[in-house]
């Protein structure tokens, strides 16, 4: 069985394109930290914890070696948002040879949605995409930041990107397999947390 998926490609071509979100209140104790030591275990956890609800399946078959090779590439960065010390979401950046930086993944663990985390994390991560070459002196200065989102992502994903100043430059429609991502463990997620077995 397949489903029709619309994919939107969005970009910024200048740091001035970024429209920052407001910061969460101080009592929320939200911190964004770069995961500087490549850790396949941690990155796979983030990928499944966030991606379970938006059907991220492309990396589920990656081996430990594939994760390690990807995370060890120059210009690949993972920035993690923590609320009171708990991972709330992440943004992954990947530099390209032409001076583009892709926001490869961005998302929140479902329990942290609607708490003013997403706009702030996207703002911060986009700023880090624009200044990425400052941390990787062998790479070209960033000339463009881009990403794609699709109709399987959260219902507010595209609007969030557009509010931050990203502009759609291409749209595609494809037929894709209807596959559900398993998440970090069977039954994970707020809709089943705490429910008796079998419900």
Where residue 76 sits, what CATH number does that domain have?
Answer: 3.40.630.30
pLDDT tens digits, residue range 4-19? 889 999 999 999 999 9
pLDDT tens digits, residue range 106-142? 999 989 988 889 999 999 999 999 999 999 999 999 9
| 188 within 8 A of 51, measured Cβ to Cβ | no
Q: Does residue 106 belong to any structural domain of this protein? A: yes
Q: Does residue 71 belong to any structural domain of this protein? A: yes
Q: Does residue 38 belong to any structural domain of this protein? A: yes
Q: Does residue 40 belong to any structural domain of this protein? A: yes
Q: Is 61 helix (H, G, I), strand (E, B) or coil?
A: coil
Q: Does residue 198 belong to any structural domain of this protein? A: no
Q: Does residue 189 belong to any structural domain of this protein? A: no
Structure tokens at 39: 């850790």
Which range marks the domain in which residue 144 is found? Answer: 2-177
Work out the pLDDT band at 68, boundaries 50, 70, 90: very high
pLDDT at 8: 95
Number of domains forming the structure of the chain: 1
Structure tokens at 151: 């109709």
Percent of the chain clearing pLDDT 70 (strictly above):
88
Q: Does residue 113 belong to any structural domain of this protein? A: yes
- Distance between first and last Cα of the chain: 26
CA distance 161 to 132: 19
């Amino acid at each position: 069985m397949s489903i029709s998926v619309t994919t939107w490609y969005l970009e910024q071509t200048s740091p001035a394109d970024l429209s920052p979100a407001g910061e969460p209140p101080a009592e929320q104790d939200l911190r964004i930290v770069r995961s500087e030591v490549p850790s396949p275990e941690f990155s796979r956890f983030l990928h499944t914890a966030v991606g379970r609800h938006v059907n991220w399946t492309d990396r589920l078959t990656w081996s430990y070696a594939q994760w390690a090779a990807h995370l060890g590439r120059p210009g690949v960065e993972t920035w993690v948002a923590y609320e009171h010390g708990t991972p709330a979401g992440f943004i992954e950046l990947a530099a390209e040879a032409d001076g583009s930086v892709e926001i490869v993944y961005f998302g929140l663990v479902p329990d942290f949605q609607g708490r003013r985390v997403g706009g702030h994390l996207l703002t911060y991560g986009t700023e880090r995409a624009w200044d990425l070459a400052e941390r990787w002196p062998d790479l070209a200065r960033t000339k463009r930041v881009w990403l794609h989102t699709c109709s399987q992502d959260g219902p507010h994903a595209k609007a969030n990107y557009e509010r931050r100043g990203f502009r759609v430059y291409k749209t595609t429609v494809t037929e894709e397999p209807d596959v559900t991502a398993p998440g970090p463990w069977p039954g994970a997620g707020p809709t089943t947390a705490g429910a008796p077995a079998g419900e």
